[in-house]
Structures are given as C-alpha cells and as structure tokens.
Structure 1
Amino acid sequence: MTELHYLTIAELSAAIARRDLSPVEVTRAQLDRIAAHDGALHSYACLMADEALAAARQVEADMAAGKMRGPLHGVPLGIKDLFWTRGVPTAAGTAIHRDFRPDQDATAVHRLHEAGAVLLGKLEMTEGAYSDYHPSVTAPVNPWNADYWPGISSSGPAVAVAAGLCYGALASDTGGSIRWPAAANGITGLKPSWGRVSRFGVVELAASLDHVGMLARSAADAGLLLDAIAGADLLDPTAVQTLIPNRHDDADGDLRGLRVGIDPDWNGEGVDDLVLRVLAEAKEVLAGLGAEIVEVTAPDVDDAIADWPANCAVEAAVAHHATFPSRREDYGPVLAAVLDRGHTLSGHDYQRILLRRMALRGGFDALFAQVDLLLTPVHPFAPLSLAAISTLGEQPHLIARLQRYTCPFNMTGSPTITLPGGHDDAGMPIAFQLVAGHLHETRLIRAGIAYQRETCWHRRHPSG
C-alpha cells in the first residue's frame, strides 16, 4: 500500500472526499515529515506551518458545511519561492529580495487558495531563477542520491515532490527549469504554453521566456493543477483568453488518432545510450496505446541554443533594472555576469535574435501541422552527478548540449510534459519529453495519463 505522503493528488483528493482522511490530519503529517527530512534535503526556503494549519482547518470546516471546492480541496502543496505570497517572504533565491513580503498573492497562488489547496511553504531555488545559487543559499539535495544533480532552478519544488514533502508544486521554466528537475528527481513536470498561466506576481527572470507550470507525481495531477491556475487574468494582459478544453472526456482512453513525431537524427545526435533506450521504450508504449508514430525532421535549433543566453540576459537586465548595478554587491557572481551581458548587447543584435525566434516558432508551427506531439529527450545525458555538473560552467559546449531539447521550446513558447521513463544501473531516474503545439496541453496530459497507466516509473520514489 502506498504511504500517505506518496499518494497522488487524485488519490488523496478522493480519500478526503470520502472522509477517510481530513485536511488537518494530512497537513500535520506533511509538516511532521518536513521537520523529519528537510533538514537534510533543504527543499524549503520558508515554511508556512501556522498558515497551512489555519487553511486546513478552514477547508475542513467548509467540508463539514457541505462546501467542496474541487479536487485540490485540502491538498497540501508547495510553491517555488518566486511566487508572491501575501505577507510571506518571497526572496526568489536572492539576497536583494530576502526581506520582500508582498501585499498580495500572485494570481496562480490566489487561484490555489480559491481551489481549497493548503500551501505548506515556499520552495528553494537558484538565484533569480538562473543557473546557480546565491552564495548564502544551501542547495537542495537530490533525495534519490545526494551525489547527484537535483536540477535547476526549480530544484526545491522537485525535491519536495519527489521526497513526499508536498503533493505537488508550482514552478517556473525559462530554459529548462521544470524539465531538468523533473527528470533528475523522477517526477512529472508540465510546462504549459507561454501565456497559458498568468505571470502576475511571479518574479521575472526573462519575461518572454518565463513559463509558469507545475511539478507533480503524475500527468493527471499536473492536469488538476493546470485546471486550477490557468486562464485569463486582468492583472496580466499577456495571459491568453482561450479556455482549456475539457480534457477529462478522453483522458482514460487510448491514443488512437494521436500522431507522435520522432526526428531520429535530432534525438540521436550525441545522446547517451541509456537515454536512447528510454526513448525507444517510450515510443513502443505510445505505439502500443494506438498512437501513430511519424518520422519527421525538426527545425534546426542551433541558433535558438546560441541565442538563448543573450535573449535571457537582456530581459533579465530589464527585470533587475531597479537593483542592478546599483546593488551589485548583493548579487552572486553568476547572475551578476548575466546582467552585465544584458547591458552590453546592442539593439540590432537583440532584434536579430527576435527575428530568428519568429522563424523558429514558424518552423515548429509547421511541424505541429503534421503531428500532434513530438517525442524528444529532456537532455542527452544519463543522470548527472554533482561532480559532472560542476564542470559545465567551464565547458560551453556541454551547456549547449544540456539546453538542446529544452530552451528551444522556451523560445517558441510551446507546451511540454516531462515523464519518468526508466532508471540507470545506479537506480537514478531518466525521463523523456513530449512537446505539443501552442495551447495544446490537453494532448500532453492525455498522452501522459495513458503512458503512466501502462508503466510504473512515476510510482517509484526515493527510499525513506
């Protein structure tokens, strides 16, 4: 029998609805587990124990009065520490914001409250959501093995979900920051289309690249979280108006009628054998579920990979204009270097990047006229040790390899889902990625649910 802390959101929600478990009981159990385990894992930046218990008592009282707010009612969740949370420190992994207590919630946080979720606390992250931690921050630890990379920058959310310290978490992704942690920690990560979820109250790294998404134990859970927080928002005019179709109608069916594209050259170039094996097995499962496998040629992403650092740097410099360079001494060296670069790129060079982004998006739009989904790696490496990842900063070609299958889909704004698909000989998780056309998250969730009904990788979790 699955331990309480490793239930999916759907399973926990059903137990709460049946009155088998109470929100207060579950919240106390989560807080106890955090107290017992997070001292070694460092996934929480700020625990909201009193607020969580108060919220749990309120939703329990609502239940007694016959008011159920939906499938997140009474479910304890975490939020990455760049989402504004009223009255609660929101540091975004930085020193410059460590005393910032917003006077209102981010729209996504507000919608979780409205859905009856119980928020346990703010989850740790890299500085400003870029690639390294501020020197004052203790990095989260991969619960599968402390010697392995937990991913960036949504590492705290992924570690907490994987270790049973929350049932799901809000996160963000600017170049891979939902997908790498999901893969490294053996959980499911959904990066919706750019604009599908409001960015109001989410500390910016790079506005046109930042995607608000979620980390969860299953594709079904990711869908429940997306249902709760997606949609138009008067506070964010870039949030799309289009409603999410009812994905529940066919979520339990097979994948007949779904075309899954595979570019064997792109997927195979410099990709480790273990990753190739996971891709091959995922292809077989999807085909067995009725999906039509279509060989395609993906657009060339080399320019996107080369352009992403400069694009991100310019937008990050805009986001930090009030505090950088005036408070340079409060920044860590990696983020400071990025902001310096953002101040030096010419307008002509930035415009060329934007034009290449438009061409890339057009190329993928054409591809998604041929297929419904694209199957790719998350990154070309087998699970990365901390020793291996520590050398990335000295090897730009390795950074480009790491971003090869992630940052292009921030440049296009395409939705993706990351699914655990295997383990290496050391027991570390390996994942794959499905990508869809703009605003077609329902296809990703449908495929993810079907795949996870046939496999058990998402059911595996660290010991303890």
Structure 2
Amino acid sequence: MSADPIHYKSIIEISELFRRGELLPSKVTEVMLGRIAKLDQEFHGYALVLAERAMAQAKRCDAELAKGVWRGPLHGVPIGLKDLCYTSFAPTAGGTTIHARFVPSFNATIVDRLEHAGAVTLGKLKMTEGAYTSHHPDDQAPLNPWGVDYWVGSSSSGSGVATSAGLCFGSIGSDTGGSIRFPSATCGLTGIKPTWGRVSRHGVFPLADSLDHVGPMCRSAADAAAMLGVIAGADVNDPTALQAPVPNYLAGIGDGVRGLRIGVDRSYAQDGIDSQVVAALLEAERTLADLGADIREVKFPAYEKLVSMWIPMCSIETAEAHLETYPSRKSEYGPDLAQLIEQGRSISGVEIAQIHHERLKFCGSLAALFGDIDLLLIPTMPVPIPTLTKMGEYGADPNVLLSILRFTAVFDFSGSPTITLPNGMAADGLPLSMQLVGPHLSEDMLARAGYAFQSVTDWHTRRALGE
C-alpha cells in the first residue's frame, strides 16, 4: 500500500480498503469535499459541487459494503464528471452560458453506469465552451496545479485539474482533437481515449459527433482501466456504440509487454519536436525494450493534410450540433466557438467530400500499419507544457495550432484508442507525456502496456501539490 495521503491514493487502493472494511466511503467523501472547499477556490476545477448528494451516496455505499455487497472497483470511490455529461440531478451547461440552467430529464448512459457501479459523484467539472478550445469569457478558467501560469489543456480542463490536485480519484473527459490527452499531459495524468464508439455518447453534449470520444482521466493506468471497464459497452440508446463485448481490463493488466511489437517512426515522433520531449520518449522506448517489447522502425502514414482539415471538419459538425441556438442566440456565445460555427456554416459540400476522402485514405493506411505492429509510441505534444502567454500566441497562429494537434487529431479522425502517460519532467519541473496508440478495440493491450511502464517508473506518482 502506498504512503500517499488518502486524497492521492489510487482507485485500486482505496477500493480495496473499502472492500476490506478498513475505510468508509463516507469518511473519504468527507475528506474530498473538505479538500475541494479548501483548494478549488484557487484552482477552479469544479463547475458545481454536489456535497449533500455525494454524502448521501457515500453513506449508502457504507451500508452496502457492511452487508457484504461489493459492486466492483468503483464502489464508494469519489469521482468527477465533465459538465457535458447529462445529469438529471444537476444542471449540464457544457461550458456555455446558454445552457447554464439546463437540467436534463435523464442521465447520460455513462453517468448511470458509474453510479450503478457505486461511484460517488462529487460534482460537475469545468470545461471549455461547448468543448472547443477556450472558456466562455464570463467563466473563470481552471488553473493548472503544477503552475497557474501554465496551460491546462482543453477542453477537459476541470477534469485534469481536479484529478491532478487530489480533488477526485478519477474523472470523465472527452476528446475531439486531444481533450483527454492534452489535460492528461499538462496535469501529469494517465488518460485513455477509447476506440470511437467503445463508450456510449448518449446524453453527452457533442462538439463534433464523428470525432467525439469519451473516456477516463486518472492517476494511473490501472485506475483508468477500472473506470473504462464500467463505462464501456453497447447501448440501445446510442446506435453508434460498438457491440463488441467489454473485457475485464484489469484481469490481464499485469501480463507485461514481452513480445509486443511497438512501432516507432523517428521522423514523425522526433523531427521538429522539442529536445526534452524527444529525450523522454527515447528513454521510455528503452524502458519498454528492457521490459521485453519488440521495438520496430515503421513509417507513419502521411498525416499533414488530414491535420489541416481538423478545424474545418470540427466546424461543420459543431455548426450542426448548435442549430437550435446558433445564430438565434449568437450574442450569448464566446468569440472562439462562434467563429468556429460561422466557419462550419460556410463550408461547401465539395470541401466536406475532400475531408471525407482524405480521412478514409488515412484510416486505411493506419489500419495497414497496425497489421505489422501492436502499438505505436509517440509524444502527446510536440513541446513541454506551454505558458498561458505562449498558448495565446499559438492560438493566433493557425500553423502552430496545427503543430499542437500533430499527435492527437489524426487519431480522432481514425477513432483509434490511445493511452496517455507521464514519462518525464521538463527543466521547469512540469511533467512530460507520451502516448501509446493501438488498433481499434485494443484498450486492454494499452492498459497492460501502460501498467507495465508504470510498474518500473514513478512519473505517474509525482504530485503537483505536495500536501
């Protein structure tokens, strides 16, 4: 058992303490709510804290566990929900002002699954407006606990902040261009972006339906696997949810990586990339090789054109998602989301066809690559965590923004699963990050590889806040 204080223990650890009767969910929930009250006024991870409801849930978990009822590894564990997950018991604003008072009549499928598994919902976590790149001007953006002057990623910003600062044990994020992976990278977390359709999007406010993925953000690969095992699976309310059975992601998580073929394209992963990012990636490659992985040189498919098409593709689908409120309530939108929607409303059918064809070609080439390897090793971002000032400069330069998307957006187009892992520390003392990418429905292999890497490294145990 780790020496971490309660709020930094893993889901797996805290769950076992609950199961053995050595700790009560109500006591832990009380600790977490106290910590939120103390720290979240500084970091702003939560849009809404549901203290009374969370305590009632936790006490029910106490009673169930006392009777020998154990619902699984999330039973009694306090978590946070990104505020695009519909909740019938609280407003779902989606980072907007338009929907600030919107209380859905039903829960998102993933919310029902988490609560049925015994998870305690501490509250709704802040996010960028409509899950695009920036927060609404009237909203206080979350601040990175590793350094308040540094970028916290978008759009699952509150999920990254709350999980990193020990204000929940795990959280739900969503990823359309990198928004599970960027906040995981900037906050020193482990995040799984599942295969598109592996997790139901029923009751999840969309940014761009064909690009949106929903997944867990946690402090370890095992914790992310535990959460994914609860939320994944077919859903009668979401016809795009995959029908494939959900394996027990924890069952074989300790089987190691011996014999796994891990591909590396040195041009894609290293050319034009910051030297600190490259050094950490090379060290991770050596670690995986020492664990028995078979490192293979590969050629990644042409990706530049597809990356340049991400903003147009996102804009088209975002415009469709906001038809009920845009342009009729245009004045209530922040400038960045409004600009994206305007762009989407102006794109021609020919341009849409070009994006569709480029996407199909890339997906076919990537599938062929995964015929020769099991996983692909790449950075999460081309640079260490930028400052907020630097990100403002990036936002004004479309070419730099596309560089940031180099390792993320293509896998939203392809729907490929990835796991994001901390793999070093930069000179400024902030975490560095990498990704392992797999073929569709390889989340079990990704969790196993992440767990193996974290079994011999301690990057995932570094904490932004020492207390």
Give the TM-score taking structure 1 as reference length: 0.99
Deviations 1:73-125 (A, max 9, x none): 00000010000011301101001110100111100000001100000000000
Deviations 1:266-304 (A, max 9, x none): 111210000001100110111111100000000011111
Match in the other structure for 1:130? 132
C-alpha displacement at 1:249, in angstroms? 4.2
Aligned residues: 464
* Equivalent pair of 2:225/2:250 in contact (CA under 8 Å): no
How far apart in 1 are the matches of 2:385 and 2:239?
39
Consecutive aligned runs of 4 or more in structure 1 exceeding 4 Å deviation: none
**Letter of the aligned partner of 1:221 in structure 2?**
D
Match in the other structure for 2:364? 362
* Equivalent pair of 1:111/1:228 in contact (CA under 8 Å): yes
* Equivalent pair of 1:244/1:442 in contact (CA under 8 Å): no
* Equivalent pair of 1:213/1:226 in contact (CA under 8 Å): yes
Match of 1:317 among 309, 316, 319: 319
**Letter of the aligned partner of 1:106 in structure 2?**
A
1:137-156 alignment, distance < 5 Å:
137-156=139-158
C-alpha displacement at 1:430, in angstroms? 0.5
Match in the other structure for 1:217? 219
In structure 2, stretches of 5+ residues that fail to align are: none
C-alpha displacement at 1:365, in angstroms? 0.2
Deviations 1:175-197 (A, max 9, x none): 00010100000010110000000
**Does 1:372 pair with 2:404?**
no
* Equivalent pair of 2:234/2:244 in contact (CA under 8 Å): yes
How far apart in 2 are the matches of 1:394 and 1:319?
25
How far apart in 2 are the matches of 1:372 and 1:245?
18
Match in the other structure for 1:59? 61
Match of 1:432 among 425, 428, 434: 434
Match in the other structure for 2:72? 70
How far apart in 1 are the matches of 2:175 and 2:228?
15
In structure 1, stretches of 5+ residues that fail to align are: none
Match in the other structure for 1:329? 331
Match in the other structure for 2:411? 409
Match in the other structure for 1:240? 242
**Letter of the aligned partner of 2:299 in structure 1?**
T
Q: Secondary structure at the match of 2:436?
A: strand
C-alpha displacement at 1:253, in angstroms? 2.5
Match in the other structure for 1:17? 19
Match of 1:253 among 252, 255, 258: 255
How far apart in 2 are the matches of 1:15 and 1:61?
15
Deviations 1:321-366 (A, max 9, x none): 0000000011000000000011010112101111111111101100
C-alpha displacement at 1:254, in angstroms? 2.4
Deviations 1:188-217 (A, max 9, x none): 011000000000000000000000011000
Match in the other structure for 2:281? 279
**Letter of the aligned partner of 1:55 in structure 2?**
Q
C-alpha displacement at 1:424, in angstroms? 1.1
C-alpha displacement at 1:387, in angstroms? 1.3
How far apart in 2 are the matches of 1:329 and 1:248?
48
How far apart in 2 are the matches of 1:295 and 1:346?
40
* Equivalent pair of 2:44/2:143 in contact (CA under 8 Å): yes
Q: Secondary structure at the match of 1:404?
A: helix
Q: Secondary structure at the match of 1:448?
A: helix
Q: Secondary structure at the match of 1:69?
A: coil
How far apart in 2 are the matches of 1:425 and 1:393?
24
**Does 1:174 pair with 2:153?**
no
C-alpha displacement at 1:245, in angstroms? 2.9
**Letter of the aligned partner of 1:100 in structure 2?**
F
How far apart in 1 are the matches of 2:399 and 2:136?
24
Deviations 1:16-45 (A, max 9, x none): 111111010000000000000000000000
Q: Secondary structure at the match of 1:172?
A: strand
* Equivalent pair of 2:29/2:58 in contact (CA under 8 Å): yes
**Letter of the aligned partner of 2:153 in structure 1?**
G
Q: What root-mean-square deviation, in Å, do the aligned CA atoms of Structure 1 and Structure 2 show? A: 0.8
How far apart in 2 are the matches of 1:368 and 1:199?
26
Q: Secondary structure at the match of 1:390?
A: helix
